[in-house]
């Protein structure tokens, strides 16, 4: 599996990323009190498939034996990521909900996520969402050819006020394109556990910080997929797929307006 994508492959990912962005915007526009997770998942599926794409999460096993059942990962409040999109859970005023989607298009994969307010939310949740998005963009800005993955990690970690927010450390960003998850790992903090990887032209990365209003420890729910904070604190997640070009990073999955 080549970590470096050529110009034709990056163009295919650019086209797939545009499809993905439209699908995510459609879901964001539908988020309101009273809508169910299952309804949102149906909206995303239709947009992707109508455009000639194929959901990349549905059927994904992540190395295990149980395939993920839905197009969209939908995670609410204390759920960090990987919530099942087939649930009939009704969103309520004041919730925040993470929408994480991926698709295959022309045999290349892209990945993106946002966290969305459900109606009017508390200011502390809005600030959490803004901090997560800002941390992601700080990482994107350091995705420069000749630097290293550690520069991305350092920028994300440095952008977070860790007196207010926990950085989820057991989950990381990653390479993407030929597979849903490729190397290298892109952690959201600096650690000697991860090797120093040079950033090269043609690399495509999914940068995705996850912040909480409490600690950084998480666990897996009874469904075997949903990741939740152990202390019950609420969490936010933002993600874009980028291509590393000689002139700088390009976001291949433009983020929708989530109303914050």
The distance of Cα 241 from the centroid of its chain, to the nearest Å, equals 9
* Cβ-based neighbours of 42, under 8 Å, separated by 6 or more: none
Measured CA to CA, the distance from residue 211 to residue 10 in angstroms comes to 29
Closest alpha carbon to 205 in 182, 176, 183: 176
- Cα dihedral 81/85/88/94 (nearest 10): 40
Flag residues of the chain having pLDDT under 70: 1, 63-64
Q: Where are the domains of the chain?
A: 7-251
Amino acid 192: pLDDT: 87
pLDDT computed for residue 62 by the predictor: 74
Residue 65 is predicted with a pLDDT of 72
Topology, domain 7-251 = Creatine Amidinohydrolase (3.90.230)
Residue 48: what pLDDT? 98
The pLDDT of residue 1: 53
pLDDT of residue 118: 98
- Going from the C-alpha of 51 to that of each of 179, 251, 253, the distances in angstroms are 20, 20, 15
Interacting residues of 137 by C-beta distance below 8 A, sequence separation 6+: none
How many Å apart are CA 24 and CA 142, to the nearest integer? 25
């Amino acid at each position: 599996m080549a970590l470096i994508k050529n110009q034709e492959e990056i163009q295919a990912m650019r086209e797939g990323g545009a499809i993905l962005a439209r699908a995510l915007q459609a879901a964001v526009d539908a988020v309101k009190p009273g809508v169910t997770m299952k309804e949102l998942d149906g909206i995303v599926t239709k947009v992707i498939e109508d455009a000639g794409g194929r959901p990349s999460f549905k059927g994904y096993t992540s190395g295990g034996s149980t395939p993920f059942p839905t197009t969209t990962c939908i995670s609410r409040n204390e759920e960090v990521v990987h919530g099942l999109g087939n649930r009939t859970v009704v969103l309520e005023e004041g919730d925040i909900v993470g929408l994480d989607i991926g698709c295959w298009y022309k045999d290349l994969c892209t990945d993106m996520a946002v966290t969305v307010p459900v109606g009017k939310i508390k200011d502390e949740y809005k600030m959490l969402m803004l901090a997560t998005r800002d941390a992601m963009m700080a990482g994107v800005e350091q995705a420069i050819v000749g630097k290293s993955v550690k520069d991305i990690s350092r920028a994300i970690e440095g952008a977070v006020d860790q007196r207010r927010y926990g950085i989820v450390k057991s989950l990381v960003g990653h390479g993407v394109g030929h597979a849903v998850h490729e190397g290298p790992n892109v952690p959201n903090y600096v650690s000697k556990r991860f090797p120093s990887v040079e950033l090269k032209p043609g690399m495509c990365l999914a940068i995705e910080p996850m912040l909480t209003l409490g600690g950084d420890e998480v666990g897996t729910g009874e469904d075997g997929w949903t990741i939740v904070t152990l202390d019950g604190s609420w969490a936010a997640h933002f993600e874009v797929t980028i291509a590393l070009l000689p002139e700088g990073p390009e976001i291949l999955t433009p983020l929708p307006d989530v109303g914050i």
